[in-house]
Structure formats: structure tokens, C-alpha cells
Amino acid sequence: MRYLSAGESHGPGLTVVIDGFPSNLPVSKEYIDEQLRRRQMGYGRGFRQRIETDTVEVTSGIRFGHTLGTPITMNVANRDFKNWTDRMAVFGEKPEDLKEIYRPRPGHADLAGAIKYDHEDIRNVLERASARNTATIVAAGALAKQLLEQFDIQVTAHVVELCDVVATDLPASLEQLIERADASEVRCADQSAEAQMIARIDEAKENGDTVGGIFEVIVRGCPIGLGSYAMPDRKLDGRLAGALMSIQAIKGVEIGLGFEAARRFGSKVHDPIAYKEGSYLRASNGAGGLEGGVTNGEDVVVRVAMKPISTLYKPLPSVNMKTKETELAAIERSDYCALPAASVVGENVVAWVIADALIEKFGGDSLEQMKDNFEQYRERVAKR
């Protein structure tokens, strides 16, 4: 399974084309739109979210609410394009009064991208590098989540750290965690930490600054055996890390104990194996549900570190690429904190990777064939 995306932040719209999806999956447009809505929410978002109300338009690959097994094309319109038609015109002459951007922002793709593609106007870089393009990732992930639900696989995400505030009072029940996170403006299931996180965002806003943090993605219901230890590019932990690192502003990924595992003796890291009532069990989950690049039947747990947004309303020093003089970096309309939204993006990215591994493992051109293969595998596993 694969997808290609296209579009600019202030262009006419964003497009994703998905190939390799099985046929006969019932698909809800409302479900995809809900995931897009969740991506736009969160305390600390900027003015752009008041303009855009993302919904998906499907133009191929689905008929009467079911996938056809052929490429699926989904489009998300940029409503703000009507305010940018002269500056982002696909054809025609460049306006004489166009204000081009020459002052790259530290932390953004501006400088490296302009040099790589021989652009003078940095807008040619930032339009595609923008996190606005994560709308296509979420649309693809929302489709993947609907496939996973057919196999009782659940994916959720919540914020565990924002700046220097750490969530510690988390419910043991996944259902309660989801309920609390969904009710939180910062997607944090610890209510006392939530208030402190909001205060940090307010502080950043007052100072023209930004804040990042860490979110956690949990996958429940994965069967043993997704991924492979045989080749590096088939290891599921590597595929998850690579996909999550491709999200804008993500600077780190850890699975299970992650970096904490490096600080402990092996006896305090690895999860003892038991067998009870026909299943292999673990008393702990330091591995985060993955051993050797393969799912082991426990929850897949991934934590993802997001840096603060690169655009600062009190910008850092930069260089004018035209004059080579020191100037303050350019200011683009942006967020003070996009961590809650990033957690939703991460949730859908993980759903995509897990769905891809599921299709790889159980094959079949249709949902029915996948389910037959899945049930046969479960029966075989039960005998082991």
C-alpha cells in the first residue's frame, strides 16, 4: 500500500492518491471529515483554523460507500485560496507588487529548500513544507483506521508532555484515557497537567514564542507477527519511526521504554513471557509491543517529540538572501502550539503504517479475503 500527496498550503487544495487498498471496505466520509476536524483543533492554534473547515472530496476508488480496490483519490480544498489567488496563481504573470520572502526562518526548511531547488522567493519552499499538508496524511490515515476497525485494532494518541509540564496522573483504562484526551483542549488525559500546559501556551503567546512537547500513540489489538525481522526495511519499528519522523516538526521517536531502556540493566528492561489460557502474555511492556521489528501481541506504544513551531512572532536573527545582510527572520501566520494537532496526525500516521503491515501480512485483494486469511492465522497461532 502506498500514497502520494500534492498541494501547497495556500494553493487551491491538497490531494492524496492511495494505491493498494483492498476492495469492499465500507467507508464513511463523515469519519474522515471528523479526523480532519480533530487535526484542526487544540489550544494554541492560529488564525488559519478559523478560515479552514476541512472536509474531504473523494473523486475515485469508492462507489456507493465501498472501496473498489482501485486507486482512491481524495481532495481537501483550501478555502483561504480565495485570499491568495494573485500570490498563488497556477498560471499567469507574477504580480508586480508581490512581496517575495528572502529572510529564512531558523528551524524551517526555508534556507536549505531555497538553495536545493534554486528558488529566490522562499514562499516556493514554505508552501509545500508547511504542516498544512498533514491534512492529506490524516485523510489517508482515516481510511486506514476504518480498515483496522474491521480487525478490532484500535489506535489513539494523547499528549504526555508540553514544554516542561509532564502528565503523570493518567488513567489505567484505555477507554478512560481516550475519553479524557478527547475532552481536553490539549489532548492531555491528566487534568491538572492540562491546566499547566494551557498556561505554558499562554506564556508563549504573550512572549511571541512557541512550545512543543511529546505525544504518545497506542495501538491495541495487533496480532503477533506484523512486520519482519528478516530485512531492515520490513521491520515495523523502523517503518513507524520513519513515517512519524516525516511529520513536520518531529525530532524524535521512541518505542516502549525508548531511551530509558539505555539507562537500565537488561533485567529491568525486557518483558518476561508467560502462557495462560491459550495465549502468550507479558507482565510488562517495555518493548512497546515490538521485538525484532515484529509485533508481539502487546499494545504498540510509540512516543513522539515535536519541536516548537519555527515561526516566531518575535523572530530570531537571520540573513537576507538577496543582500546577505543580517535581518530578523520572516514572519508567517502560524500557531503558538500545534502539539495537540500533531498527536492526531501521528495517530493517523501510525494507523496507516499498521494497516500497511496488516495488508502485507494477510494479503488478499478484498476485505473478505483478508478476513479469511486473518481468521486462519488466528487459529494457527492458537495452536502454538
Mean pLDDT of 223-238: 97
Per-residue pLDDT for 46 more than 80? no
pLDDT tens figures, 67-126: 999 999 999 999 999 999 999 999 999 998 999 999 999 999 999 999 999 999 999 999
Pick the closest to residue 68 from 33, 102, 21 (CA basis).
Answer: 21
Mean pLDDT of 287-314: 96
Residue 52: its pLDDT value, please?
Answer: 63
Helix or strand or coil: residue 336? coil
Per-residue pLDDT band at 324 (split at 50, 70, 90)? very high
Tell me the CA distances in angstroms from 61 to 21, 64, 66, 123, one per residue in order: 9, 10, 8, 33
Per-residue pLDDT for 54 more than 70? yes
Mean pLDDT of 45-53: 62
Per-residue pLDDT for 384 more than 60? yes
Mean pLDDT of 271-290: 93
Residue 84: its pLDDT value, please?
Answer: 94
Binding positions for NADP(+) are 39, 45
Mean pLDDT of 47-63: 82
Mean pLDDT of 129-134: 94
Residue 330 per-residue DSSP state = P
Residue 55: its pLDDT value, please?
Answer: 95
271 near 286, Cβ under 8 Å? yes
pLDDT tens figures, 174-203: 999 999 999 999 999 999 999 999 999 999
pTM: 0.95
Residue 51: its pLDDT value, please?
Answer: 59
User: What mean pLDDT value characterizes the chain?
Assistant: 95
- CA–CA separation, 74 and 17 (whole Å): 7
Binding positions are 39, 45, 128-130, 248-249, 292, 307-311, 333
Binding positions for FMN are 128-130, 248-249, 292, 307-311, 333
Mean pLDDT of 306-326: 95
Alpha carbon 355 to its chain centroid, in Å, reads 14
Helix (H) or strand (E) holding 282: strand 279-282
Q: How far apart are the first and last CA of the chain?
A: 30
CA 246-248-249 angle, 5° bins: 115
Torsion of CA 270, 274, 280, 286, to 10 degrees: -20
